[in-house]
A and B are shown apart, each in its own frame.
Chain A
Amino acid sequence: MLAVLEYHLVNYRRTWRGSALSSLVLPLLTMLGFGVGVGSYVAGGVDGVSYLDWIVPGLIASTAMQTAIGESTWPVLSAFEWLKTYFAQAAAPLRVADILGGHLAFMLFRVLISAVAFLAIALAFGTLHSWWSPVALIVAMLVGLSVAAPTAAYAATISSDSYLAILLRFAVLPMSLFSGVFFPVESLPVVLRWIAYALPLWHGVDLSRDATLGLDPGWLGLVHAAYLIAWCAAGCWLAHRRYRRRLVI
């Protein structure tokens, strides 16, 4: 599994500068756009904190989700369909779990980098209000795995990338919009609210917000964490099944 992670890291070495830069630019633009722009319209803030402070932890979780989706869609499809690199790995003495686990570990590494970058920028803008803020990184990793694993399972099932567009439009986009990143889920109609509760992101957003604002999550925090872990476990189980079906036939 480590050898597979190492392989992905060697591959990443070629493009890391560009991707590291973009993981800094995105939060910077966010600070300016939402903090200065949108923030000035939301004069009263949300739940007693300024809009920027309120939105930053949600965006960290949301960025983790986006990075995880990016790494578990086209790269996985390509490794099966276009470059067929998974099949080369399967011919070596690796198990399906090594091939999948090594790739997921790399995806989490990418999630961690983008979350760290976001947190650092947030710190520079003075939007972090608690020593608990680094916990947002752990939350980001949980969110990352909870979407990367099932998405990798999905990408292992399809044969063309038009199915990825469907995933982005009907799962990722609604999840980004309705998971309490930009406004509290309580302002959604009940039906949409339940969609937010069902998908993993809202749970991460809520935990992340508690971490950077220093709020006590109480028993709900445990529920969030347990729910995210359940998504991770189910996703890994499903991905392993799908990978196995493709690699061992």
Chain B
Amino acid sequence: MASLIRARGLIKRFGDFTAVDGIDVDVRRGEAFGFLGPNGAGKSSTMRMIGCVSPPSGGVLEILGLDPVRDGPAIRAKLGVCPQLDNLDIELTVRENLTTYARFFGIARKVARRRADELLEFVQLTERADSKVEPLSGGMKRRLTIARALVNEPEIVLLDEPTTGLDPQARHLVWERLFRLKQQGVTLVLTTHYMDEAEQLCDRLVVMDGGRIAAEGSPRELIERYSTREVVELRFNAESQEPYASKLEGVGERLEVLPDRVLLYVADGDEAVAEVHRRSLSPASVLVRRSSLEDVFLRLTGRTLVE
């Protein structure tokens, strides 16, 4: 089936700086597609190009079969955009934020009012419909921004870090609503640097780093390809964990020494722990856990903070 979003060698430059450096992306109808990556990886620049507010510097980009530079307004009419920072109108009421925004899409006033009521129901803000936006909590504002992105019944919803800065309850509520949207067949494209968010929501994702795509696949595929089934975290009571690296040689497929602990990437965690004890090593604490997307992410994008 044809892709809703198709990018080939897509490039975005700002002066000498290349934010997006030749990426290939295909987003299919009805899937939830994620862009993962550390800050500055090029996720938001990519999202802005898909949102038709930022012309590509090179490569091919097609959205719904149209050219974002030539057909920007026609594409935007079918997109819903939930930006990273809420840009709601704090002077207007919750409902007015939806109805005035609907008018930008040429939606009749009557239809706009009805749709606003339905959407407020959907994001559980009906009781706040007539209150101003300013006093709302972060989670409520975020839900209202999502509702606003749905006011034109979009084919694709773009969500730039949808739950950044929200408390756990608010995040779970947002996830649950987004999951419902996905069930209704809406195509979701989101960026995040939260691995749990990506695992919760994304059918498929790409990991971006330095403007390029470092890996692509479903969360499960990525874990299988770039990590092992389980991870053993060992903590030794010592100044440095470094000396233990050689003693743990060969226990797992891969070993990583952190300042406070040693990670063993293994197929079977319990078997690996037994081997550690056979080598008469006695770590102060042992944790066996399943590999997560976070392990993949850190392997691909590194642990060093690049700012």
Contact = CB atoms under 8 A, between A and B. Distances in A.
Interface of A: 3-4, 6-7, 10-11, 14, 83-85, 87-95, 247-249
A88 B80 CA distance: 11
Contacts of B55: 248
B259 interface: no
Interface stretch (B95-103, B276-284, B287-295, B298-306): B95-103
A95 B88 CA distance: 19
B104 A4 contact: yes
B106 interface: yes
Interface in B206-241: none
A93 B106 CA distance: 9
Contact of A94 (B87, B100, B104): B104
Contacts of B66: none
B92 interface: yes
9 contacts: A3-B106, A10-B96, A11-B92, A85-B87, A91-B76, A92-B101, A93-B74, A247-B53, A249-B14
Contact of A93 (B48, B76, B85, B88): B76
Contacts of B79: 91
Interface residues of B, number: 30
Contacts of A6: 100, 103
A37 to B, nearest CB: 38
B interface majority secondary structure: loop
Interface string B93-132: 0001000110111100000000000000000000000000
A248 B53 CA distance: 5
Nearest 9 Cβ contacts at the A-B interface? A92-B104, A84-B87, A93-B73, A91-B81, A93-B77, A3-B103, A88-B87, A93-B76, A7-B100
Nearest to B77: A93
A85, A88, A91, most chain B CB atoms within 10 A? A91
B92 A93 contact: no
Contacts of A92: 76, 101, 104-105, 152
Nearest to A14: B91
A95 B100 contact: no
A185 B268 CA distance: 91
Contact of B105 (A4, A11, A83, A93): A93
B90 interface: yes
Contact of B73 (A4, A94, A249): A94
A interface majority secondary structure: helix
A208 B92 CA distance: 37
Contacts of A11: 89, 91-92
A11, A88, A94, most chain B CB atoms within 10 A? A88
B128 to A, nearest CB: 17
Nearest to A79: B87
A91 B100 contact: no
A249 B45 CA distance: 9
B40 interface: no
Contacts of B51: 91
Nearest to B45: A249
Contacts of B22: none
A147 B178 CA distance: 46
Nearest to A6: B103
A249 B101 CA distance: 22
Contacts of B148: 88
Given A7-B103, A88-B89, 20 more contacts: A3-B100, A3-B103, A4-B104, A6-B103, A10-B92, A11-B91, A14-B92, A83-B89, A88-B83, A88-B87, A88-B148, A89-B104, A92-B104, A93-B76, A93-B77, A93-B104, A94-B104, A248-B53, A248-B55, A249-B53
B54 interface: yes
B76, B77, B79, B104, most chain A CB atoms within 10 A? B104
